[in-house]
Structure 1
Amino acid sequence: MKIAIIGGTGVYDPKILNNIREECVATPFGIVRFKSGEYAGEQIAFIPRHGSTHSIPPHLINYRANIWAMKKLGVQNIIATTAVGSLNLDMKPGSFVLIDQFLDFVKNRVTTFYEGGERGVVHVDVTTPYCPSIRKTLCEFAQKLNIPIHEQGTYVCTDGPRFETPAEIKMFAKLGGDVVGMTNVPEVVLAREAEMCYATVSMVTNYAAGISPQPLTHHEVLETMQANTENIKQLILSALENLQPELDCTCKHALAEYGGFKL
């Protein structure tokens, strides 16, 4: 099983795959339950990040368990989806953004597999935190499918589960943020430590607080996601048909100076 999908808000349905099975993997951080299926001759793992009924808030997601489980299964490529608010007027609700950088504003999450002790300490390089190869594939097929997509964007990650204040949004925009969400950190960092190719497709569901002309609601987020479900499914399926997880990539050598990632 070399490819995984981590579905964010609104992307809970693994029915894009065939021969779906429920499975679980034990990790040092807890048991991970996920679905697996087949597509384009590949075995694919599917994890709904918030649970199948959106029952897990962003600050309680077991990020380390999810990434460890995928690594244990042999996954090399991960496509993650996220729902985001926009700080950038050019990134309109309903459009997609291929994230290439992030700003980390989480305060209450463990963001590494390496906390000293037996595993030691690691300082992973995140100059290019998202896999260029997967991002290129997603970009190419978004264009072929005529799906509006921004090829770059900086994701601001907050703890949540509350939405941000207008003052926070103003600050994030001044710092260079394009979109804001609650889940991409530490997921992207852990995937880099685990030497996996990881890319995020963010769907803009609304303008952020102070930019939006109306109060933010979770219902608004879900409505926009539902309206674009078919687009994101088509984009992911096209990417799955064309990913080549066996190819070498710099992502797979992120911890080379430390002797590589060890389960």
Structure 2
Amino acid sequence: MSGTLAIIGGTGLTELPGLTIMKAHDEQTPFGAPSAPVLEGEMYGQRVLFIARHGHPHRIPPHLVNYRANLWALQKLYATDILAVNAVGGISRNMKAGTLVIPQQIIDYTFGREGTIYDGDYAPVSHIDFSYPYSDSMRELIARGASTAGEKVINGGVYGVTQGPRLETAAEIFRMENDGCDIVGMTGMPEASLARELKLNYASLSLVVNPAAGKSSGAITIRQIDENLSTGIVRVRKIIDAMVKDFYA
């Protein structure tokens, strides 16, 4: 593939072997400040961009993330392809904690988020085709990276995006399951649709860090989430390493 790969996720994703951070870009955008400076790194002689979705340190709740500024800043720095790393809850039976998922579809349950660049101010009102929200080429790149890294992933599934920052009720998860959702998270939208508006190839690698509400016998705890995130992010970094080599091959 040609272009520049950008990664959206937590700050821990920059802890990759062979990665050297070269510069931090404090970009100004028509939509305000991004969540954090865009980090420009070099990996295997190639340019890679990173942005911490929730800021650094982690401080911005999902409903207040400036998704428009984040995506606009990445595009301004010549990103062409976006890997979004998302921590999610598992709804479907096969979405156990620790599972890695490359979702294929989205159902958006969020509200009140600034979700378009076509707001009549920055750009005239327009409409995009969002039938298939994720880039096939990026989904294939993730799948190949996982295979190369020896990491099992579920390739497919529906990501239900909720408002947060609270977790969902068991009844809400039951409704989402009936709607066809396999995983639930709070950051998948409007990130994906903004990437489409900005003509960026975008896909998600989602890590299941907890069973969704009502899907386990006990309460969901932050300790449980943090433990699964800590273990899973090591596997995600292995996939990213393989993806970077493949992307710039």
Same-fold status (TM-score > 0.5): yes
User: Which digits, 9 at most, give the CA deviation of each residue in 1:163-195, with x for residues without a partner?
Assistant: 000000000000000000000100000000000
Any idea what SS the aligned residue of 1:75 has?
A: coil
Q: Kindly, what percent of the aligned residue pairs are identical?
A: 37
* Shift of residue 15, structure 1, vs aligned partner: 2.9
- 1:5 aligned partner, one-letter code: I
* Shift of residue 244, structure 1, vs aligned partner: 5.2
CA distance in 1, matches of 2:202, 2:176: 24
- 1:35 aligned partner, one-letter code: L
2:163 maps to: 159
Equivalent residue for 1:235, pick from 219, 235, 239:
239
Equivalent residue for 1:29, pick from 28, 31, 45:
31
Please list, as runs of the form range in 1=range in 2, the aligned pairs for 1:1-263 lying within 5 A after superposition: 2-8=4-10, 11-16=11-16, 17-32=19-34, 33-117=37-121, 119-243=123-247
CA distance in 2, matches of 1:236, 1:6: 12
CA distance in 2, matches of 1:15, 1:205: 20
* Shift of residue 40, structure 1, vs aligned partner: 2.3
CA distance in 2, matches of 1:235, 1:117: 39
CA distance in 2, matches of 1:126, 1:217: 35
- 2:23 aligned partner, one-letter code: R
CA distance in 1, matches of 2:54, 2:224: 17
- 1:100 aligned partner, one-letter code: Q
Any idea what SS the aligned residue of 2:139 has?
A: helix
Distance 1:73 1:181, change over 3 A: same
- 1:12 aligned partner, one-letter code: G
Any idea what SS the aligned residue of 2:131 has?
A: coil
Retained in 1: the 8 A contact 2:30–2:122? no
* Shift of residue 118, structure 1, vs aligned partner: 5.9
Any idea what SS the aligned residue of 1:167 has?
A: helix
1:259 maps to: none
* Count of aligned pairs between the two proteins: 243
Retained in 1: the 8 A contact 2:46–2:248? no
User: For structure 2, which runs of at least 5 residues remain unmatched after alignment?
Assistant: none
User: For structure 1, which runs of at least 5 residues remain unmatched after alignment?
Assistant: 246-263
- 1:91 aligned partner, one-letter code: M
TM-score, normalization by structure 1: 0.88
- Extract structure 1 runs of 4+ deviating beyond 3 A: none
